[in-house]
Amino acid sequence: MRRLYALAVLAMTGAGVMAACGSDNASTFPAPSHEAGTGGDDTPGPIAPPGDGSVDPNAGPLVIEPLDPALVFTTGLPAPTVQFSAKTTDGVPVPASFSIDRGEIGNVATGNGLFTASGNVGGKAKITATWNGRSVSTTVTVKLKVSENGASLADAGADGGAGGNGGVGGEGPGAAVSAATAAVLKSAPAADAGLTFLYPYDKTVWPRGILAPLLQWKPGAKGDYDAVYIRLTEAAYEYEGFFAKTAAPFSHHPIPQQAWKQLLASNAGEAVTVSLVFAKDGVAYGPITETWKVASAPLKGIVYYNSYGTRLAKNYGGAKGGDGRFGGATLAIKGSSTDPALVAGANGDQTQCRVCHSVAANGSVLITQRNLGEEQKFSAYDLKTGSETVISPEGPSATFAWPAIYPDGSMFLGDSSSAPGSTTAPNALFSVPTGATGTPTPLATNWPAGFRAAYPAFSPDGKKVAFTMFGGATGADQKTLGVMTFDKTTKTFGPLTAVHKPAAGTAVYPSFLPTNDGIVFELETRFNGRDYGGTRSDADVAPPDARADVGTRAELWWLDLKTSPPTARRLDALNGRSASGVAYVPNGPAGHDDDATLNYEPTVNPVPSGGYAWVVFTSRRLYGNVATINPFYSDPRFHDLTSSPTPKKLWVAAIDLNAPPGTDPSHPAFYLPAQELLAGNSRGYWVVDPCKSDGTSCETGDECCGGFCRPGAGGALVCTATVPTCSQEFETCKTSADCCNSAAYQCINGRCALSAPK
């Protein structure tokens, strides 16, 4: 049973009329004493000028009232309203037409100015009155107060597929609590020694459009709890939820998806406070509290990743648990789905395995190894059509492993290292083949004779390529990062430049920031002694009694290329360390003694969003209390992963754009929702969606081949190539002057983007 707790509050400021309501009535505003206009949606005409010598109402400025009213929309009460009107400066009413700039907050009647809050989103909107070629504006602020007891209809029956409940695991929202328990939860809580948050982390930055997280905690001395009270607060949104325990021990609970959507949409850049209080035997315990930040824009694109234990494409036997079958495949996380989608790989034998992939930044092409164990076989996938091209030749002469695909998907540069499936030959540039079977065409270049580059990656603008200097050149020591410029037209590379030699360890997996002037990379601090750039230990490829303490350990760093020499800095907040370098990520048993050194294989979303770059990476850290087994137990042939998830998962972190060199621009990471929960996941590639043709529905311009997303004939947003007066966020640009509000937005990699976090 769902019960609603409500308290109506309403406040107005400025020259408007004040009104309040009791707890049983909607908040309403009486109309002004003068007429509000003609009513309806008819276009108003001019008013005859007065004959007494006063000001002509058809000329001069307008006045709108009330000014800047504030409303509270409380769960269970009728929607609050406010009546806007317009007049001349000497008080003559005019039949203005009204409009609102944020229809998600509420609706204003065009003909009579009555505003009604929607109850979907809180925040501030602009109301504009227009009459006789003149206009005047004010704002209306709506605060949502939402309360629920138990799972709402929108969240009941949360999906429990491959991605786990809600795409994040756990058991879904709990049932309603009794009135007595609710009263306990709202009483003054007592402290419970040891009670603390495990996940999410304090000061996490969340993008819009992401699925709600699973709140996870370490119970205190009182042990198991009976219920939880979740409270979320920000300037225009307050939420309280009361939920009974979902499992024993009660150690995690999701934020309901509807509440989470409202929280994200209502945020205007201010901090979000989350607080949890628990009930046990009639006593409240807590609170435990964190603060988060919400980016001003959603994440864009698709994440393609490897799974070596997926149940979505079973092409190997010998797994422990389940039906004994598992697979190697490439999966994708798209949109708001709670489960991954199979992209490359199929049921069958090992010839259907598709792993160790790379993806073009524009989302058009994927190149992957196939038939794991015979690692010199490759396929290319057209991601618009899903068609596979079997690449020839196969065998030792194939030099197509771990390629850097050019951003537009037209060509690729192969890897040359000791990584599985790679080659000892120098790197070569090839065209991307098409058709059922195709042979990549070698492209003539001036690649340095004999030089071998490991794990190469193109910059988003295609003008640079970064790599680890593996061999065949001065300074190629298998651990130093190098960069060359690249000219697509002439297929020529610039001079080889060493940009960072780590004081200790090995620098691998470089990935450019969207601004093209910085690199995020993995610094391997301990080598597993077996595979170059790998993340495994003996425990990952041998029975459970094999040594797990020799697994590869690594941290993520960033390199600022604008300085001379380039400045490197560890991404402490992303890795799980405080500003002083002390680990804040929870430690635990079974090899989780230093989870801040279990971060690998970064790739950066080529499209910045909300003033941030977003990096997806592999981590073997604890995922709260959901994935807690040994960090290197991820091979389903030696470890039963059907009920105990491996911690080998994908994580995401925000990085401030235009951060000063030598600083840490990163923020605490979050678990990427919708990845397969009961599988080992790695090597995520974050790329934009394949573009849409003109006339196709869209949300933002980066989705469109023409570069712009604007209202069509029917008013709905559609893709277009028609160049507007100025470009909005995510739309095409050539210079920052092309962007609307160029003081705040700049042209980054050919698209307008907020230049720094709000």
Is 412 among the domain residues? Answer: yes
**52: alpha, beta or left, given left = phi > 0 and alpha = psi -120 to 50?**
alpha
Is 233 among the domain residues? Answer: yes
- Name residue, tokens 């230990």: 537
Residue range 452-472, pLDDT digits in tens? 999 999 999 999 999 999 999
Residue 302 tokens, joined: 């698709």
- Which residues are CB-contacts of 385 (< 8 A; sequence separation ≥ 6)? none
Claim to verify: residue 605 and residue 620 sit in the same structural domain: yes
- Name residue, tokens 């009974």: 244
Is 592 among the domain residues? Answer: yes
Claim to verify: residue 165 and residue 284 sit in the same structural domain: yes
Is 49 among the domain residues? Answer: no
Cα 399 from Cα 416, distance rounded (Å) = 8
Residue 395 has pLDDT above 90, yes or no: no
- Name residue, tokens 């400045």: 567
Residue 116 tokens, joined: 């009604």
Cα 555 from Cα 600, distance rounded (Å) = 7
Claim to verify: residue 662 and residue 745 sit in the same structural domain: no
Claim to verify: residue 546 and residue 634 sit in the same structural domain: yes
Residue 519 tokens, joined: 């690199």
Question: What is the secondary structure of 726-755 as a DSSP string?
Answer: SB-TTSB-SSGGGBTTTTTEEEETTEEEES
Residue 655 CB coordination number (10 Å): 27
Is 403 among the domain residues? Answer: yes
How far, in Å, are 308, 348, 351, 420 from residue 315 at the CA level?
A: 10, 5, 8, 20
Which residues, listed in sequence order, are joined to residue 302 by a DSSP beta bridge? Answer: 687
Residue 307 has pLDDT above 80, yes or no: yes
Question: What is the secondary structure of 620-646 as a DSSP string?
Answer: -S-BTTTB-S-TT---TTTS--SSS--
In the Cβ-directed half-sphere of 462, how many Cα atoms lie within 13 Å?
Answer: 18
Name the pTM for this structure: 0.90
Claim to verify: residue 507 and residue 629 sit in the same structural domain: yes
Residue 333 tokens, joined: 């996380």
Residue 41 has pLDDT above 60, yes or no: no
Q: How many residues does the chain have?
A: 758
* Three-state secondary structure call for residue 568: strand
pLDDT at 477: 97
pLDDT at 423: 82
Claim to verify: residue 355 and residue 424 sit in the same structural domain: yes
pLDDT at 300: 84
Report which residue type is found at 242.
F
Query: What mean pLDDT comes out for the span 442-449?
Result: 95
Band of residue 16 on the pLDDT scale cut at 50, 70, 90? very low
pLDDT at 48: 57
Instruction: Provide the CATH number for the domain around residue 235.
Output: 2.60.40.10
Share of the chain above pLDDT 70, in %: 89
pLDDT at 471: 97
Share of the chain above pLDDT 90, in %: 76
In the Cβ-directed half-sphere of 596, how many Cα atoms lie within 13 Å?
Answer: 17
| Boundary-marking domain end, from 278, 298, 318 | 298
Residue 43 has pLDDT above 60, yes or no: no
Query: What mean pLDDT comes out for the span 418-444?
Result: 92
pLDDT at 158: 53
pLDDT at 13: 34
C-alpha 278 chain-centroid distance: 30
Most confident option among 276-290, 396-410, 697-711? 276-290
Owning domain of residue 731: 701-754
Longest dimension (CA), the chain: 100
Residue 662 has pLDDT above 80, yes or no: yes
Report which residue type is found at 53.
G
Query: What mean pLDDT comes out for the span 223-231?
Result: 96
Residue range 320-356, pLDDT digits in tens? 999 999 999 999 998 778 999 999 999 999 999 999 8
- What phi, psi does 548 have (nearest 5°)? -105, 0
How far, in Å, are 9, 72, 306 from residue 237 at the CA level?
A: 13, 9, 38
- Which residues are CB-contacts of 40 (< 8 A; sequence separation ≥ 6)? 111, 112
Claim to verify: residue 331 and residue 420 sit in the same structural domain: yes
Query: 134-143, 310-319, 617-626, 683-692: lowest mean pLDDT where?
Result: 683-692
Residue 255 CB coordination number (10 Å): 24
Claim to verify: residue 344 and residue 479 sit in the same structural domain: yes
Query: What mean pLDDT comes out for the span 82-94?
Result: 94
Claim to verify: residue 324 and residue 206 sit in the same structural domain: no
pLDDT at 556: 98
Q: What is the DSSP letter of 701?
A: G
| Boundary-marking domain end, from 267, 298, 329 | 298
pLDDT at 743: 87
Mean pLDDT, rounded, of the chain: 89
Query: What mean pLDDT comes out for the span 157-175?
Result: 87
Contact 328, 307 (CB under 8 A): yes
pLDDT at 15: 34
| Boundary-marking domain end, from 298, 320, 348 | 298
Claim to verify: residue 397 and residue 419 sit in the same structural domain: yes
Query: What mean pLDDT comes out for the span 183-198?
Result: 97
Residue 17 has pLDDT above 60, yes or no: no
Query: What mean pLDDT comes out for the span 397-407?
Result: 91
Question: What is the secondary structure of 24-56 as a DSSP string?
Answer: TS----PPPSS---S-TTPPP-PPPPPSSS---
Is 174 among the domain residues? Answer: yes
Alpha helices in 365-474 (DSSP H): none
Is 445 among the domain residues? Answer: yes
pLDDT at 371: 82
Residue 705 has pLDDT above 70, yes or no: yes
Tell which residue, 499, 486, 512, has the closest CA to residue 427.
Answer: 486
Q: What is the DSSP letter of 591?
A: T
- What phi, psi does 574 have (nearest 5°)? -65, -45
Contact 732, 749 (CB under 8 A): no
Burial 703-728 (b: 16+ CB within 10 A, else e): bbebbbbbebeeeebbbbeeeeeebb
Query: What mean pLDDT comes out for the span 349-373?
Result: 91
Residue 375 has pLDDT above 90, yes or no: no
- What phi, psi does 183 have (nearest 5°)? -65, -40
Most confident option among 19-28, 122-131, 370-379? 122-131
Residue range 465-502, pLDDT digits in tens? 999 999 999 999 999 999 999 999 999 999 999 999 99
Report which residue type is found at 668.
P
Query: 41-55, 280-294, 538-552, 737-751: lowest mean pLDDT where?
Result: 41-55
Residue 213 tokens, joined: 């997280």
Domain count, the chain: 3
Residue 665 tokens, joined: 């621009």
Claim to verify: residue 683 and residue 718 sit in the same structural domain: no
Claim to verify: residue 185 and residue 271 sit in the same structural domain: yes
End-to-end CA distance of the chain: 40
Higher pLDDT, 399 or 192: 192
Is 506 among the domain residues? Answer: yes
